[in-house]
Structure 1
């Protein structure tokens, strides 16, 4: 079974919630969460540059393959046995709109966190934890 490094923005409450929820479903302990917002984060050995990782979710499988955006979500869902959910992310007819929706959510994740009630102290770049 492959192992995955998940490069995510822990400063984003919605992102943190989703990654911790995903980790709870990781019954085989194949996911390692890597906080790209940490002061100790070293992007030199990461899946991509820090600005790229701040734009879309990045994961690296233990064979070195990098997945981003909706492909990363699909790979993670498949790894936890939820591949039935990934159809719209892969189907030709819905892939474009799925990617657009995901990129919009990722770009506005701090404001969306506020709207969803994750925190009341967010601006367009960061959230107070």
Structure 2
């Protein structure tokens, strides 16, 4: 296993700060496609496990309410989708999203532009997924 950091935008903060979250990945990842696949499968597993966790008496602390109110929505984080997510389908959607240029991938300060591009991850590397959004409004 390789220990890396994935940069995640802090939710509920006024400034758009990135927080480096420790993450463990298999050490046999050869290319960007394999990296995206590994991350998506881990996240799908986490998502599916959250559906089985049930709090007997759910509550929010004052700090959680204050943080969530900054984003405009206060809630308990319930998942309303029925059933578990399909890892193979999620991987296919993520790979298609990369090909459609809906997000970019950076390892440390270097952008990886092709799914077949080799990646050489080392302990302590920083991985960032940048989601691209469309601007709304008129073009002229």
TM normalised by structure 2 equals 0.29
Q: Identify the structure with bigger relative contact order (alpha carbons < 8 Å, sequence gap 6+).
A: 2
Higher strand proportion (structure 1 or 2): 2
Higher helix proportion (structure 1 or 2): 1
TM normalised by structure 1 equals 0.30
Bigger Rg over Cα: 2
